[in-house]
Amino acid sequence: MAKYWSKLVESLDPYVPGEQPQDQQYIKLNTNESPYPPPPAVAQVLKSFDADRLRRYPDPQSGQLVQALADYHDLDPRQVFVGNGSDEVLAHAFQAFFKQDEAILFPDISYSFYPVYCNLYQIAFETVALDDDFRIDFDGFRRANGGIILPNPNAPTGIALNLAEIREMLADNPESVVIIDEAYVDFGAESARSLIAEFENLLVVQTYSKSRNLAGLRLGFALGNENLIEALQRVKNSFNSYPIDSLTSAIGLAALADETYFQDCNRRVIESRERLSGALGELGFEVFPSSANFVFTRHRQCAAETLYLELKKAGILVRYFSKPRIDDCLRITIGTEAECEKLIEALKTILG
Ligand SMILES: *Cc1c(COP(=O)(O)O)cnc(C)c1O
């Protein structure tokens, strides 16, 4: 054991995010960032922001931002919680809801931060295997549990559940909290937000990092019943009173106001995704049906690790997971049209 470390720290197995190389300019298709800049109003905020505001602590409740998100999602402000990225919101939610007698459930192939939070907070979990087509096995979730979490669309598969399926899961589990992690929902899935009035056990988590082109800002939020939001406030106020700084609040507000730009970027990503999926198919890839800003794919002949390494040599980063069941797959973020074309050209060369 390293000197001074607690037993808990010694036992942690921290999350490893996708590479963010600082040396070379890559075509970055590995961490699901948007290929498009934030809306123009964001640059305006940065130009006109009064530096003197930074002398003061920010509003600990982020009242204006919470109100704007509540209005946008047709909810009461008491049904909205904001955090420093949705990763922080998720961490608080694990602590607030998932430390129960029964183990929590999530898919075996899913966001790899979930088991990391479980380790940190000493939460028991069981995984439910996706079927051979990487779809969520619905019946596998019909068992006693201390909570359920799933991304919708799932990551890294991109495959979405429909609202009827989510409704059924909520109705089946009135005694546990079901968290739907909607990091990618704006790229073609249905949000469960409309079910909040009906299900007091539903927490929906969204982020500005993907569909709002602001991964560097660190802003995420949860939507749910007042009782659940109050629990998140209690954890947050026992941890950090000011997770959202003044500048982030101002940018978050400005970005939310430009609906046309938001819709336009997402439409372009979806169009590129469909074109890229077709082109990959012609090169001998199997492409899983994606409702996200990435595709999950495997080549029928060429090993995924080889493709990942060869693409990296060619200046293109994609995500390769050396994990059971998916070590023959690549996750490729949708870039601009030009970036997608360069990817296809590079793959043609590599595959000969
Ligand atoms: C990207 C991602 C997040 C985290 O997003 P941040 O808001 O940037 O912390 C959460 N869940 C899933 C499934 C993601 O892919």
Ligand 1 in contact with 215 (CB < 6 A)? yes
| Residue 32 in tokens | 């699901």
How confident is the model at residue 76, as a pLDDT?
98
**Cross-strand bridge partners of residue 27:** 316
Length of the chain: 352
How confident is the model at residue 124, as a pLDDT?
98
Distance 284 CA to ligand 1 centre (A): 30
How confident is the model at residue 266, as a pLDDT?
98
Q: Name the closest-CA residue to atom 12, ligand 1.
A: 183
How confident is the model at residue 253, as a pLDDT?
97
pLDDT per position as a tens digit, 273-289:
999 999 999 999 999 99
How confident is the model at residue 221, as a pLDDT?
98
Q: Report how far residue 305's alpha carbon sits from residue 82's, in angstroms, rounded to the nearest whole number.
A: 38
Q: Is the pLDDT higher at 20 or at 162? A: 162
- Give me the chain's average pLDDT, please: 96
Q: Name the closest-CA residue to atom 11, ligand 1.
A: 183
Beta strand pairing status for 330-333 and 294-299? antiparallel
Average confidence (pLDDT) over 142-163: 97
pLDDT per position as a tens digit, 106-152:
999 999 999 999 999 999 999 999 999 999 998 999 999 999 999 99
Nearest to 209 by CA among 19, 21, 16, 34: 34
Nearest to 94 by CA among 146, 16, 161, 170: 146
Nearest to 58 by CA among 225, 253, 260: 253
Go through the domains of the chain in sequence order and give each one's CATH number. 2-37+260-351 (3.90.1150.10), 40-258 (3.40.640.10)
**Is it the case that residue 1 has pLDDT exceeding 80?**
no
How confident is the model at residue 61, as a pLDDT?
96
- Using the Cα atoms of residue 161, residue 166, residue 172 and residue 174 in order, give the sign of their dihedral: positive
Q: Report how far residue 91's alpha carbon sits from residue 152's, in angstroms, rounded to the nearest whole number.
A: 18
Ligand 1 in contact with 181 (CB < 6 A)? yes
Q: Report how far residue 275's alpha carbon sits from residue 12's, in angstroms, rounded to the nearest whole number.
A: 41
How far is C-alpha 171 from the chain's CA centre? Answer: 24
Contacts 24+ apart (CB under 8 A), 67-76: 68/252, 68/253, 68/256, 68/257, 69/221, 69/223, 69/256, 72/256, 73/193, 73/223, 74/193, 75/193, 75/196, 75/223, 76/226
- Extract the runs of DSSP E, i.e. beta strands, from the chain: 27-29, 80-83, 104-107, 125-128, 148-151, 178-181, 202-207, 220-224, 285-287, 294-299, 316-320, 330-333
pLDDT per position as a tens digit, 168-193:
999 999 999 999 999 999 999 999 99
How confident is the model at residue 187, as a pLDDT?
98
Average confidence (pLDDT) over 24-32: 93
Torsion angle defined by CA atoms of residues 167, 186, 208 and 115, in that order, rounded to the nearest 10 degrees: 50
How confident is the model at residue 212, as a pLDDT?
98
Ligand 1 in contact with 209 (CB < 6 A)? yes
Ligand 1 in contact with 83 (CB < 6 A)? no
Ligand 1 in contact with 87 (CB < 6 A)? yes
Ligand 1 in contact with 186 (CB < 6 A)? no
**Is it the case that residue 24 has pLDDT exceeding 80?**
no
Q: Report how far residue 224's alpha carbon sits from residue 205's, in angstroms, rounded to the nearest whole number.
A: 9
How confident is the model at residue 167, as a pLDDT?
97
Q: Would you say 282 and 20 are in contact if contact means Cβ atoms under 8 Å apart?
A: no
Ligand 1 in contact with 293 (CB < 6 A)? no
Distance 314 CA to ligand 1 centre (A): 27
Q: How much of the chain exceeds pLDDT 70, in percent?
A: 100
**Helix (H), strand (E) at residue 262:** helix 259-282
Ligand 1, residues 94, 210, 290, 294: which to mutate, most atoms within 8 A of Cβ? 210
Band of residue 299 on the pLDDT scale cut at 50, 70, 90: very high
**Is it the case that residue 21 has pLDDT exceeding 90?**
no
Ligand 1 in contact with 333 (CB < 6 A)? no
**Is it the case that residue 55 has pLDDT exceeding 80?**
yes
Q: Report how far residue 111's alpha carbon sits from residue 177's, in angstroms, rounded to the nearest whole number.
A: 18
For residue 156, cis peptide bond before it (omega within 30 degrees of 0): yes
Band of residue 16 on the pLDDT scale cut at 50, 70, 90: confident
Which atom of ligand 1 lies nearest, measured to the CA of 215? Answer: 8
pLDDT per position as a tens digit, 85-110:
999 999 999 999 999 999 999 999 99
Q: How much of the chain exceeds pLDDT 90, in percent?
A: 95
pLDDT per position as a tens digit, 199-253:
999 999 999 999 999 999 999 999 999 999 999 999 999 999 999 999 999 999 9
Distance 3 CA to ligand 1 centre (A): 33
Ligand 1 in contact with 111 (CB < 6 A)? yes
Q: Report how far residue 104's alpha carbon sits from residue 100's, in angstroms, rounded to the nearest whole number.
A: 8
- Extract the runs of DSSP E, i.e. beta strands, from 166-320: 178-181, 202-207, 220-224, 285-287, 294-299, 316-320
How confident is the model at residue 138, as a pLDDT?
86
Which atom of ligand 1 lies nearest, measured to the CA of 87? Answer: 9
Q: Would you say 327 and 321 are in contact if contact means Cβ atoms under 8 Å apart?
A: yes
Q: Would you say 141 and 169 are in contact if contact means Cβ atoms under 8 Å apart?
A: yes
Ligand 1 in contact with 182 (CB < 6 A)? no
Torsion angle defined by CA atoms of residues 92, 68, 33 and 120, in that order, rounded to the nearest 10 degrees: 0
Q: Name the closest-CA residue to atom 2, ligand 1.
A: 183
Q: Report how far residue 212's alpha carbon sits from residue 26's, in angstroms, rounded to the nearest whole number.
A: 22
Residue 336 makes CB contacts below 8 A (sequence gap 6+) with 35, 36, 272
